[in-house]
Structure 1
């Protein structure tokens, strides 16, 4: 029998929602916890855990695949915004990369909201709580060893997982002066082992790693809005959720939105919490005037490129007849993550130009993030042409990603109607600031130098494999040529965040301002960008949120 009431209702059974539900239940098994997920339960689908499953499931029926408005900064292209439409959410369709941001990223978050709980030191216990780190000799003050999320490096996952380009890629970056960083918990800067949350060659969706035993789960159930009870004195109280099919489920304690960066602001607005003009336009009764709902959207915009291998007969990429050892498939075929800052002489003029534009146009860019000692771009090299529509997976091509870690461009999410089944309207606004542009152009130039202008790179890489209709980029490419390519080919790294930000939409305890009994726990809460890959941060958020909720229950 389906529940008509619970103590805690979690709207969205994604990465954060599943982890949160599990932790609340285990913290107090007497509490009735209900997860409501619009997508399906993927139990029995082998692609959820098998190697390369994320590559297969992205864009499948388990993906919302939201589209953006045409983006003027990227040649009016419409971008796909992937989001898990499935119990487990993004952890089911992602690629398993695992890294924290720089400590300074979290310290900036804490500074912006005025709360040390969200600094690196404040979040560190929750990073440790979420993970089971592969290196038992690592500092226990920095890493956890008994959490549900198994974190491993390439060679730690299997000593036979030896990719043929591992040493060459390291040597190429070393020639460019990039130093090996064995402990990226202190700083991302440098070349570090690519970490991932795979276990015994299988991926770990949050619903499986954390477990939902004792938690009631309702799938294939879309939430329309939060229902508020009115009181004579004080704020409206979130008391129930109304499903799209008309069912009403009451919450005796709290409702937590964990529906993700795009859906959470949509539910808030459909519930009457949002910009008054938007609510009025779509005849949604206003509960609370919250103009920042749906604002502050940011993402890790990225430039992916493809490269032709000089000697494919050596078995250096997926698709080669020599690529047979099962150990090579126990994770993403990638050895290294390289995080770098942007030289001051490049960054400063861009920051100054953005400041001038902001003062004239009234736009607000969080330029306080821009500091040359921080990591602005992350570069990874994948031993397969993943994502290329024009290249065969035949062992002759590899791919690279240059990811913008600290974007200053800001977009928005809004609603197109009062119907929950109409998708949110997403204006990504990628690549809008000078700072973002010079950062990605510099990052692209660095990968060109590493692969085409070092002795180690030239020994293995013949040329860039340009997209159809575009000239090949090499080390002689101008900034304008690189910029043109990024505008034509740059895409999201699927790390959107910030659309229901702490400090504006939320208080520091994750409660929605202006009402009672309603919190948000997902990537939309981030007030500022955080580097690295978001999984580690999101699990830490869920861990701290569970503690906050249990303390108040």
Structure 2
């Protein structure tokens, strides 16, 4: 059996949906097929903003991937979740909508030799995709903390982003603590310069989560979406992609096949199509169509560790809102209220956080670990807008720690994120069966730079926690190293508590002609194969300074622009 379309897009996450959105709105309305391995995710109850932390654990929406044992994490297999179904990971992520640094996009443009990826152009795409809602809670004077420029934000895109209608009572005092401890404030982390502490912009509005499915809902009948359709391989005619296969059924593309299955699954589809490292393909008796030794290499990711402190009832992270959904009856009542008008406890609990992006001082940038980096990487990390670590406040960690005691619910949780990891991990074949996931090895903390940066970021946030403005309301430690810990002790804390941030990047990198580590060119074409492109986080050649759903959206829309121009659509 076969059915033919102009373009076939594999995957409905932010990147794939943005490709479809850009192509689907073009004047000539090409015939597009979107193939999604998971389900429709069309139950509105899956969009409850205050349940963003619980949706992540929905096994029907999560592939449930794990890493291989990590030597620098006690040989533990770490959670490596990816979203399943319409919306991809945007349907299960934690709703953080941060777009990164101007320096990230300018570095991308430099690496691939194409200014269409620079901040000026990326910023326009973000504005095209978003409707930014600047409203803040009535009665709060937020002018010191929130002052976005209208020129930095979109007003008519399909993706609703903004602030929660109600904020935790200690949110603004928490930002004051940063300032008093010598950390700057930033009135808009999505301006291109994220440096400083900010009120977080979320991918949600009026209590409802936004996902990339919102882009698909804007498309007309020239776009067909098929769910529960797992692509096993690309159909190749020699070295030309002509379609894809699902359970023996062929779907043909007269123009192009576009893979948007993400950093963990796009390489799997390619490898089972005969594209990839020869030694892996031959090991599992997959005939090699194109030797692509760089495929599956270059995996990078952010990681985080939590600091959790028991606080006075007056200073804890708004547990009053938690008590509104603390038992089944209250939770059910809150859900009924949410269904009626999008308000109530499920529209405010843990829906607003603080986020901070900061740089180390010259002591770090003159360290042997930093100076051992390539000159271009040092220049990038020294860019005024590129942060070295992130801090996220108000994380509801009691939902992630088994048997968290009720008497500790007055707590503050600070997540410390390691940025700019230099370790290069891998995704590799482990079976000839295309339904079996690849082996995922991010190699967390295996480079000296990463260990140094992890220790220094933790030490900086401990300095915040020990500052008088914070410490005066701390009544105990739930999970944190001592302020005067040695470097070895801080590293050991990271190793015992590290988690992926689920920002997997770079397994099919974009590059210039002749780059040994490049799988695709600057037009997203798989080098050596006609009619096959990749648009997802696997191609992005920088580990962006943000939570990467925004970068995936930009990636997809960039490819759409290129295709519309190339085919005169």
Establish whether TM, by shorter chain, passes 0.5.
yes
Secondary structure (helix, strand or coil) at the match of 2:194 reads: coil
Secondary structure (helix, strand or coil) at the match of 2:545 reads: coil
1:53-92 pair list within 5 angstroms = 53-58=52-57, 60-92=59-91
| Residue segments in structure 2 that go unaligned for 5+ positions in a row | 136-146, 326-333, 335-342, 512-517
Which residue in 1 is equivalent to 2:172?
167
Please, which moves more after superposition, 385-394 or 266-275?
385-394
Cα shift at 1:454 = 2.0
Q: Is the 8 A contact 1:377 1:443 kept in 2?
A: yes
1:397-436 pair list within 5 angstroms = 397-436=411-450
| Residue segments in structure 1 that go unaligned for 5+ positions in a row | 231-235, 359-363, 467-471
- Among 262, 279, 282, which residue is 1:280 paired with? 282
Please, which moves more after superposition, 433-442 or 290-299?
433-442
Matched, 1:115 2:118: no
Secondary structure (helix, strand or coil) at the match of 2:198 reads: strand
Cα shift at 1:189 = 0.9
Q: Is the 8 A contact 1:333 1:383 kept in 2?
A: no
Which residue in 2 is equivalent to 1:469?
none
Cα shift at 1:295 = 0.7
Structure 2 vs 1, CA of residues 383 and 67 (structure 1 numbering), >3 Å: closer, same or farther? closer
Which residue in 1 is equivalent to 2:544?
530
1:84-233 pair list within 5 angstroms = 84-135=83-134, 138-153=148-163, 157-158=164-165, 161-184=166-189, 185-211=191-217, 212-214=219-221, 215-230=223-238
Secondary structure (helix, strand or coil) at the match of 2:76 reads: coil
Cα shift at 1:412 = 0.7
Q: Is the 8 A contact 2:168 2:350 kept in 1?
A: no
Cα shift at 1:539 = 1.3
- Among 252, 257, 261, which residue is 2:259 paired with? 257
Q: Is the 8 A contact 1:316 1:383 kept in 2?
A: no
CA deviation map 1:6-56 (0-9, x unaligned): 111111122221232132112146311111111111112512344313433
Cα shift at 1:482 = 1.1
Q: Distance in 2 between matches of 1:322 and 1:309?
A: 20
Q: Distance in 2 between matches of 1:209 and 1:254?
A: 21
Q: Distance in 1 between matches of 2:301 and 2:252?
A: 34
Which residue in 2 is equivalent to 1:506?
520
Please, which moves more after superposition, 512-521 or 387-396?
387-396
Q: Distance in 2 between matches of 1:350 and 1:37?
A: 46
Secondary structure (helix, strand or coil) at the match of 1:419 reads: coil
Matched, 1:242 2:245: yes
Cα shift at 1:365 = 11
Q: Distance in 2 between matches of 1:3 and 1:463?
A: 64
Cα shift at 1:138 = 4.7
Please, which moves more after superposition, 37-46 or 94-103?
37-46
Matched, 1:297 2:305: no
- Among 478, 503, 511, which residue is 1:465 paired with? 478
Which residue in 2 is equivalent to 1:233?
none
Structure 2 vs 1, CA of residues 26 and 54 (structure 1 numbering), >3 Å: closer, same or farther? farther
Q: Is the 8 A contact 2:32 2:224 kept in 1?
A: yes
Q: Is the 8 A contact 2:321 2:349 kept in 1?
A: no
Q: Is the 8 A contact 2:506 2:539 kept in 1?
A: yes
CA deviation map 1:385-429 (0-9, x unaligned): 242224246632332211122211110111112211111111111
CA deviation map 1:317-342 (0-9, x unaligned): 26654789926833744432111112
CA deviation map 1:320-375 (0-9, x unaligned): 547899268337444321111122212432435755xx9xxxxx995664327430
Which residue in 1 is equivalent to 2:143?
none
Q: Is the 8 A contact 1:237 1:517 kept in 2?
A: yes
- Among 495, 505, 513, which residue is 1:497 paired with? 505
Q: Distance in 2 between matches of 1:147 and 1:122?
A: 16
Cα shift at 1:312 = 5.8
Q: Distance in 2 between matches of 1:353 and 1:76?
A: 30
Which residue in 1 is equivalent to 2:23?
24
Q: Distance in 2 between matches of 1:321 and 1:59?
A: 23
Q: Distance in 1 between matches of 2:13 and 2:396?
A: 28
1:421-460 pair list within 5 angstroms = 421-451=435-465, 453-460=466-473
Q: Distance in 2 between matches of 1:506 and 1:343?
A: 36
Q: Is the 8 A contact 2:354 2:394 kept in 1?
A: no
Cα shift at 1:88 = 0.9
Cα shift at 1:431 = 1.2
Cα shift at 1:258 = 0.4
Structure 2 vs 1, CA of residues 294 and 367 (structure 1 numbering), >3 Å: closer, same or farther? farther
- In angstroms, what is the RMSD of aligned CA positions? 2.5
Q: Distance in 2 between matches of 1:278 and 1:368?
A: 36
